[in-house]
Structures are given as structure tokens and as C-alpha cells.
Structure 1
Amino acid sequence: MKLTTTGDQPFRICQLTDIHLGATPLNDASQQTLAAIDRLLASQSFDLIMLTGDLLWGKEVQRPDQTLTALYDTLNQYPIPVAVTYGNHDGEGPYTRAKLRELESLIRYPADKHHSMVINDRESYTLEINRDDRLDNVLYVWDSGAYAHWPSEEQYAAIEPEQIDWFYRLPYARTVDQVDLGFIHIPLPEYKLAANNIVTGGQNEPICSPETNSGLFYSLKRTGNVKALFAGHDHDNNFTGTTRGIDLNYGNVTGYNTYGTLPRGARTISVWSDHYETDVVLFPTAD
């Protein structure tokens, strides 16, 4: 589906992250997650649902097709475009990322991807927001991978150099006048700097970023168009911090079937031509 808005209306994004659905038949916690997502989507209006990884609870899920069918059936009730990137746990089961991407065919209203590039089974792509039939904002999506190439030295993967080169080669006008956003699962190392300047939300666990800094943040700073990044991964962090003029945001943990003391919910993002706003919304309680 094409991503559109009109006039001075904001383009509204719902970021769901760390859903961590388990094996089928779904346990009570996973069913609670789907019911909460359903109530949220029924109560608010969105123009895009952005899933930022760890949809699945890793090796526990031996039939990812069945579990993802349950998730996508919930989302398919609403005519809202859906986009996906994956986390470190999604590929721990029997399905590769390529196979998981094939299952995106189960999404009834997939968001239109542009400039897709796959390296090491990690897909980077863009989403284009059109306002009154004119390209207004670009959303950059990087699959941040899973685990490092050098497991004895560090745990989590860094953004690959080819993914940064892909960003530079895209045919967009990247200037400081743009208000573009980025989405990943594993936070960049610069999130540790942003934690020193938290604007909203909180840090309640260490930032589990890669040790290797492959330079994506520098690239974003250099081009100036991406004003904010949105990550997941650390379930007890949901802050918005800022460093060197770029906002580094966590989503809010969505799934009940996983660790974390934060109340479950989502992050909402409203994008205009010249600015964006974001907030955490907690799930409505059942009637």
C-alpha cells in the first residue's frame, strides 16, 4: 500500500516492538499480546504499523508460519499498511530471514517497499510518505541483524558497511530541511550517549548495542536528513534521548510473553513536513 496523507494532517505511525510471540497453540501471555494490539488498533487511527523486530520467541517457535499467521491475522483486520524488520531472536528458529520475509505475503496490507537491498540475509529498504501526491518524508529501515561475526569478542551484530553504502547511494534529496526517520531493532552504540540526555521515558537496563561501531550514526549526521531513529531490543528502556542533533528513541515493549517490568504498549509517531512528535501509549485495558 502507498503511504499517504493530505494537507497539514500528520502521518501517524504505530511502532510495535519485541512482541515475542511463542509457539502455537499460543499461551495466555501471547494471546494477551494479540488482544492488546487489537484493542489499540481499534481505539486509535494510524497510517502505518511498523514492526521493529523480535516478533517471535526464537528457538521456542518451531512453526513460525503458524505463529506469524496469528499475528498477521490480527493486523489484517485493519486496513493499515504494515512494514517489518527483524530482531536477533526472529531467526533463531528453523526459518531463515529470507523465509520469514516470504511469510510477509500473509500481510493483507503490506506497505510499499522501495530500493530493497539484501546483504547477509538482512534487508534494508525505504518507505515513502506522500503528502498531496508529493514525496514528503522518507523512512529508512535497516535490518540490524542478530549476533556478531566474532562471537568470542562481542555479542550483537553491527550494521554492515554495505547497508551504510546503500543509504548513501539512494536517489533522495538528503538535506537538513528534510524530516526523515529511521527504524532498526538493535540500538546503535550512540544510544549510550543519548542516555546522558534523556528527554522523555526512562532507562531501566543497560543499552545492549554492538561493541563495534560501523558508522551509521556518523552517516546520518553527515547527511542531516534523518532526524530520529527508533529501535527496540532492550525491553526495560523506552526513552527518547538526543545526541548531536539526532533523537534516538526506543519503542515500548509490546509483548507480555517476555521479560521486562515496563507496562506493555507501543510508540506512536506523528510526522509532518517540518517536524515530528512521538509518545508512548500504553495498551487499553480490557472492558
Structure 2
Amino acid sequence: MSRIMLIIFLVLCSLSSLITSSNGSGTKQLRFNPENGKFRILQVTDMNFADGWMTPCEDVLPNQFAHCSDHMTSEFIYRLIEAEKPDLIVFTGYNIYGPDATDAVKSLNAAFSPAINSKIPWAAVLGNHDQESTLSRKNVMKHIVGMENTLSQLNPSGFDDIDGYGNYNLEVYGAEGSSYVNDSILNLYFLDSGDYSTLPSAIPGYGWIKPSQQRISSAYVNSGFFTRLVEQFDVKAVFTGHDHLNDFCGELAGINLCYGGGSGYHGYGKAGWSRRARMVEVSLRKLLNGEWGSVKSIKTWKRLDDENLTPIDGKLLWTYQPDKDCIRKGFGYYSLVSQFF
């Protein structure tokens, strides 16, 4: 069996019934689409949502400013969902801008409303401003976990000593009708990279991934997290938020590292530089018997919030190489990792 791992810091429509099912515990089970052998993830990052219509936009053109508010962000997400019809929506942090959100619960409900109304499964991790309103970081995540259609989790059960809130993984199973139907062939890891340093006098700036989270804009501390990813051999891509004007992908030691850009209008940006979101498409191999097999490739592109939702920067991140992958990982286990830096 071949499996892929993506880390997402952190990542719908009538099709959702084809790609999700119950696993017996009432939780939706993510699954590759049996019609086309694909699993599609919409990454939305840095929404910076605050108080809706009352919240002005930042760094937009003069002719946009007068009627621009948080609802421009919501409209963008609705359009993305309609255009891309993702199987999973992933919010990679900075979901609300706490200092300007007078009621964290109302802001969170409004920020995630496009995903909730779409009936598509969604998941989220936190950024460095989500807890700066009326809820603590833990309670922000607890509220998200209790929202409709979300697959978000507070932390893994049985790991009470793990740092942060929102460390969990989601497994994606093979297509219905295939021999992989009961196999998890894609693993999505979500990690809380923290907000700010817990040792500001010695180490200023942002927080970092802690050793307790390594059981499988960066900080000054090198905690060895990336080394651990490389050592697993099965991590193929990491998707992150936080830097609104960074939206590039680069490869290091065989792992693709991708920024999502900025999706929200209340956070900093650049006038004339369209807000954007990232798509990730994972495709299965077609076997000789006509069944869908294990993961064949991972592609990504971005959509701009312009008149045509222009797709840009399409890129093949990884493709299955039988000899190489079998040598490195036996029958393979591949993953995607997602966090918020």
C-alpha cells in the first residue's frame, strides 16, 4: 500500500457525498473521488476577520476602499468554493484579527461561514492573532471544534502533555470500489506552531514547533522539526500561512514548502496585488485492472481574487516514481503537513 503525507499548518457541493462517508463514530471519513480519482484541497489563509461590515480593508486601491470590508473576504471564499468545488477546505491560521474583533465567537462564526454554508468538510489551525480577542487560545480552538461540518480537533486523545491546541491528523481513504477502499493513503497533519515566544527575554519573536509535537515567519529557535520531517521519507509537502505577501513554493531536501499568500482584506497586503488562495490536487494512479490505486501526483496552483478568479503558478509538486519510492519507503506512506508559521 502507498500513502502520502502532507503537512498543513497547515488545506462542498453535491459531490461531497461521494468523497465522504461515516466511519461508524459519526465523524465524516474523507475519501478520494471514485469518478476521477482526485482529492482537492482549498487552502485559505490569513483571513484577518474582525467585525464584518464595520471592519475596513487594508492596503487596497483607492477605488476599492469606500465599500471594502470583511465581507470582501467572505465573498472571495464563496467564489473559490463555487469555482473549485474542493473536497476539503483548510484554514491555515490568522482566521480572525483578535485586536479588532469585539466578540471572538461572532467573528469566528462569520469567518468560517462560507465553509459551513457550503456543507463541505473543513479544518483549521490557529495563527498568532486568533486568541487576542475575547477567548483564550484553547477556547478559540474548542469553539472551532464544536462548529458545524468541521473536522478540526483540539489535540490527539491520550496526549495531554502536547504543546499548543489544534494538533491532529486527518486520513483520506481510497476510492469506493477499489481495493484501497479501507486503506488510508493520504495523511493530512495539522500542527499548532504557537503564537509568540514563551521566552521573550531570551528569544524574542514568534513561537516554534515543540518537541512534544514531533512524535512522528519562522522562529529563532531551530527545534529540529524539519529534520524530523525529512527523516520520515514520506512527507512530500508543507503548506503554511502568516506572510501575506509570500505565495511561493520551494523544494528543500525533497519536501515542497509552500506559502498560501493572503486571503483576507483586513490584514496587510499590497494595493494592486490581488488577495489569493491555494489549491492542492492529489491524484490516484489508474491500475491495470481499471481500479484506482495509490497516490500518483500532487499538483498546486493559486486563484486570484480578480474578475475571473485567475489561476496562476500551476506546479507539479510530486509524482510517483516506483523504483525510487519503493527503495526509500518500502510500499510507502505519504503525507501532507500543514501549519501556521
1:125 positional shift = 0.4
The within-5 A match list for 1:34-45 is 34-45=74-85
- How far apart are the structure 1 equivalents of 2:163 and 2:33? 38
Moved more, 58-67 or 248-257: 58-67
Matches within 5 A, 1:118-157: 119-132=162-175, 133=181, 134-152=183-201, 153-157=203-207
Is residue 2:298 matched to residue 1:271?
Answer: no
Q: 1:25-104 alignment to 2 at 5 Å?
A: 26-27=54-55, 28-104=68-144
- After superposition, what is the alpha-carbon deviation per residue over 1:132-158, rounded to whole angstroms, capped at 9, x for unaligned? 222110011101110012213320111
Equivalent position to 1:160, from 207, 210, 214: 210
Cα gap change, 1:243 to 1:121, in 2 (>3 Å): closer
Match of 2:248 in 1: 239
Deviations, residues 189-209 of structure 1 (Å, cap 9, x unaligned): xxxxxxxxxxxxxxxxxxx21
In structure 2, what residue type is equivalent to 1:259?
A: Y
Contact 2:52 2:71 in 1 (8 A): no
Q: Deviations over 1:43-83 (max 9, x none)?
A: 22100000000001122213110111112322222121010
The aligned counterpart of 2:22 is none
Deviates more, 1:140-149 or 1:19-28: 19-28
Any idea what SS the aligned residue of 2:120 has?
A: coil
In structure 2, what is the Cα distance between the partners aligned to 1:105 and 1:215? 29
How many residue pairs are counted as aligned between the two chains?
246
**Quick check: 1:2–1:112 contact (8 Å CA) kept in 2?**
no
Question: What is the TM-score with the length of structure 2 in the denominator?
Answer: 0.68
Report how far residue 10 of structure 1 moved. Answer: 1.5
Q: Which has the higher contact order (CA 8 A, sep 6+)?
A: 2
Contact 1:37 1:283 in 2 (8 A): no
Select 2:150's aligned residue among 110, 117, 120.
110
Instruction: Give the residue type in structure 1 aligned to 2:213.
Output: Q
Write the letter of the residue equivalent to 1:149: T
Match of 1:20 in 2: 48
Identity of aligned residues (%): 31
Cα offsets for 1:77-107 (capped at 9, x unmatched): 2121010100011112221122112222563
Larger Rg: 2
Residue in structure 2 matched with residue 259 of structure 1 by the alignment: 268
Between the aligned partners of 1:112 and 1:106, the Cα distance in structure 2 is: 9
Q: CA, structure 1 residues 82+26, in 2 after alignment: closer, same or farther (shift >3 Å)?
A: farther
In 2, Cα distance between the equivalents of 1:125 and 1:245? Answer: 23
Deviations 1:103-145 (A, max 9, x none): 2256321227594556344231001011122211001110111
Counterpart of 1:160, as a letter, is K
Asked if 2 retains the 8 angstrom alpha-carbon contact of 1:12 and 1:47, the reply is: yes
Whichever residue aligns with residue 165 of structure 2, its letter is R
In the superposition, the TM-score normalised over structure 1's length comes to 0.80
**Kept in 1: contact 2:275–2:305 (CA 8 A):** yes
Q: CA deviation at 1:284?
A: 4.9
The whole-number CA distance in structure 1 between the counterparts of 2:166 and 2:76 is: 29
Quote the Cα distance in structure 2 between the aligned partners of 1:112 and 1:120.
16
* Cα displacement string for residues 225-266 of structure 1 (whole angstroms, at most 9, x for unaligned residues): 110100110111000001111110001210011111241121
Residue equivalent to 2:58: none
Whether the 8 Å CA contact 1:36–1:284 is kept in 2: the answer is no
CA distance in structure 1 between the aligned counterparts of 2:223 and 2:235, rounded to whole angstroms: 17
Q: CA RMSD in A?
A: 2.1
Distance in 1 (CA, whole Å) between partners of 2:306 and 2:31 is 27
Partner of 1:279, secondary structure, is strand
User: Retained in 1: the 8 A contact 2:73–2:263?
Assistant: yes
